[in-house]
Every structure is written in C-alpha cells, then in structure tokens.
Amino acid sequence: MRVGFIGLGSQGGPMARRIVEGGYETTLWARREASLEPYADTAAKTAGTPAELGAASDLVCLCVVGDDDVREVLFGETGVLAGLASGGIVAIHSTVHPDTCREIAEKAAVQGITVIDAYADPIVHLGPLGSGQVTKILNNLLFSANLGSAITTLELGDALGIPRDKLCEVLNRGSAVSKALGSIAVFGGTLDGLAPIAGGLLQKDVRHAASLAAEASAPEGAVFDAADAALRSMDHPR
C-alpha cells in the first residue's frame, strides 16, 4: 500500500516516521519546507501539492490541526481529493467534529473514496464514521478536566502551605497520579508552559464536546466545570 501523510507536527511526525520505517512507499507534503527536513535521510518522497500526494497514494493520512485545516488539504483544485483515485482511503487522525468527518465522507464517496476516523493503539472499532472523533473529543475533555482538577489542587496546596514542587512529587507517586498532573509537573507546577502548546487545541476540543452534549440534550456535568477551570488558567476560556 502506498501511503501519503500530511500533518508532520508533534503527533503526526512520529506517526509518519513509523510508516516510512515500516517499509511502506510513503509520500509527504507540508506547507513549510522545514517540516520535511527531518525526513531527508529516509526513503520518503515529497509532493508539491496535496493533489500530487493523493495521486501517489492508496491511503492518505491526515494529522493537521482542526476542521478547516482538514477541509483545506482535501478540497479544491490542489486538494488530496483532486488526485486520489477511486478505491482510495482517507484516514482522519485530526481531532475534528464528527459532522466534519461525515461531510467529507459524503463528498469523497462520489469519487469512490472511503473516509475513516482512526487513532492508534489500542485498535477498537467504536461504531460508524464519527465515533472515533466523539471518543477522542471525550478523551481530551477529560484530560482538560484533569488539568483543571490538578491545577486547582496545587493552588489549594499553596494556600495551605505545601510547596508546589513537593506536592507534585508526592501526588505523582500516589493514587491521585494522572497524565495531566505529570504534564503540569514537567512545566514547573503551572499551566503557563502548557498553555501556548495545548491551550488552543483543548479549547477547540472542549467546545466540540459542548456542542455534542447540546445536540444530544445531555447535561454537561462536573467534567465541564473542571475543564473550564483549566481553560481559564491557560487564558483560553471556552
């Protein structure tokens, strides 16, 4: 299978490298030439446009940031769908609204192209198209809530006279340990370092989660309260 990959950031980059190192004929495209430089010593080829990448691929993997980015690289005269042949597959790894996946799938189906929303280990079939997006959005909602719970706990610790670095050390070795707490500890016990990296992305995902909850007439609950605390701390309020 010939694989095309677009979105060579902190998540997509390692994914693309694993595919190349797995021996698949791989074609890459990026807006910035610098994003392609780490692959100069590999067997990966590069394309001039997403359409050119599509023409050289049977499977195109997308790991760009958001809904509009996915649409931009897929549609138009130079988009992936302009080059990808019938029978091709588009795998959306980006975290986008499930409606975006369904919209893309409808347009791609006219060309005989299949769309899936897919992530990594463990490989679990979650349901029809869009189910993967719902699950990833819920994951990121809970991660945001865990950040909010952790940072407010550390702030309470400050008020009670427990040094923040020491509290992080203890909590990270106890029953309250979480990836969120570990991320905060790595950045010195605050969200200041994480905010420029993840603030906007988590804001997007919590907004998507709120939209899904509203569409289902489901109550938001405490998870949103904690997530909102994290977003406010990162200066990216919902």
Residue 144 lies in a domain: yes
Q: Which domain holds residue 85?
A: 3-117
Residues 9, 95: one domain? yes
Domains held by the chain: number: 2
- Among residues 51, 86, 117, which one ends one of the domains? 117
Q: What is the pLDDT of residues 121-140, one digit of tens each?
A: 889 999 999 999 999 999 99
Residue 125 lies in a domain: no
Residues 141, 104: one domain? no
DSSP secondary structure of the chain: --EEEE--STTHHHHHHHHHHTT--EEEE-SSGGGTGGGTTSS-EE-SSHHHHHHT-SEEEE--SSHHHHHHHHSSTTSGGGTPPTT-EEEE-S---HHHHHHHHHHHHTTT-EEEE--SSS----SSTTHHHHHHHHHHHHHHHHHHHHHHHHHHHHHTT--HHHHHHHHTTSTT--HHHHHHHHTTTSSTTTIIIIIHHHHHHHHHHHHHHHHTT----HHHHHHHHHHHHTT---
Residue 93 lies in a domain: yes
Task: Tell me the CATH number at 33.
Answer: 3.40.50.720
> How confident is residue 119, by pLDDT bands cut at 50, 70 and 90?
confident
Q: What is the pLDDT of residues 172-227, one digit of tens each?
A: 999 999 999 999 999 999 999 999 999 999 999 999 999 999 999 999 999 999 99
Residues 95, 145: one domain? no
Residues 110, 7: one domain? yes
- Among residues 117, 142, 159, which one ends one of the domains? 117
**Model pTM?**
0.91
Task: Tell me the CATH number at 141.
Answer: 1.10.1040.10
Residue 90 lies in a domain: yes
